[in-house]
Every structure is written in C-alpha cells, then in structure tokens.
Amino acid sequence: MTRRRQLGALIAAAVLTLLTACTTPAVNEPAAQATDAPVVQPEPTSTPTPSPTPAAAAPVEVDPTIYTDEYVPGVNFGVAGGQVNCQINEAWGDPAVAAWGCAVFQGQTWRWEDTAFAQYCAQFEEGGCRNGLVVRGSEPPTPRRNTDADFGGYPATHLLAAGERITVGTVSCEPLGDGVYCEDTSSGHGFELSPAMIEAW
C-alpha cells in the first residue's frame, strides 16, 4: 500500500509540474507588434493652375470723317502726341489709286542709310528722301520724297489715342508705342514708323 501511495504521489507531482509549465508565460518572449495600425499617407502637393493671360482688347474703330481738315485733303491724324503724322487719301492723282503715308514730325533718330532703302535714297541729292513713307495703290512703301508735301508733312489737328484704329477703305492705322502701324489688307503692304525706327513690307 505504501508503494502505491508513493507512486501515486510521484505521478501527481509530475502532472502538476507539467501543468504549471504549460500555463506560465515565457518571460523573455518579445511582445508581438501590431500590424493593423493605419498607415498615414502624406497629402499630395497640388500644383497651382496658372490663370490664363487675358486676350488683348481689339482696337476701337473711330469715325474717319471726323479726322479731316479743310486745308489738307483726305483723312489726317497724328499719334504719340503728334510725333508722327499721317494722311490717307482714297483717291490721289489717279481717282482709282489710293495713296497714304506717314512722317516723323519731330524727334527722328533713324537714318535712311541704316535702312533697307539706303541704296534707293543714295541716288538722290541730300534730302531727297524725307522723314517718312508713302504707299500708292498696291505698290510697296517707298520713302517720302521732297515732292510729297502731304503724307504727314503738316502738324495733325486730330490725334489717335492708344487703343484706337482708323480705317479708310482697306487701309488701317493705329498707334504703336511712340509711333504708328499701318497696313493695307488688300495688298498686304504696310509699315511701322516712329522717331526711333522704320520698317516696311
């Protein structure tokens, strides 16, 4: 009987030891890290959309009948405070041929010898080419000559303001900086003229 009790006691002790070992938490086992935490994504940087450049306003057409003078034929006007003066004749000489032109009235700094007209003007005596350009009919612009008393040779009574345009037939002119831009939409010829520059096409 005593042996059975001892054997039973040993078995009970062994079972108790096993149960204790199974239920005791491991001391050195690292804690599991959470994997379900939300990942914070950086907010995307938005690129500002550039605002569109406003389109340039169309020139305001003026009434050419206002820009007349009883002593000078055709339509007469100046730009840039009268530094450049112009004249448009619907019929000049030949009634079927319109003529128009402009001249620098004051402050001219360009010289004919520095322009595309240098060779043309060299054939005349000094002063043969004057201070502007003239267009006759569908011909390209030519230098204003001593014989061209008109086409900007007189102080203008009326001035075109910036943003205005005057049109006679197919010829239109408008202020451009301190000068003028004129073109015939029928022939495609025209010019830019100011005290500091001259360009024709």
- 25-29, 115-119, 133-137: which range is least confident on average? 25-29
pLDDT tens-digit map of 38-93: 666 666 666 666 666 667 788 999 999 999 888 888 899 999 999 999 999 865 55
**Residue 15 pLDDT class (50, 70, 90 cuts):** very low
Count CA atoms within 13 Å of residue 39 on its CB side: 2
Read off the pLDDT of each residue in 21-34 and give the average, rounded to a whole number.
50
More confident residue, 105 or 11: 105
Q: What is the mean pLDDT of residues 171-181?
A: 96
| 181 has a pLDDT exceeding 70 | yes
Q: What is the pLDDT of residue 71?
A: 80
Q: Yes or no: say if 178 and 80 are a contact pair by the CB < 8 Å rule.
A: yes
Q: How is residue 146 written in tokens?
A: 């001593």
CB-CB neighbours of 196 under 10 Å: 14
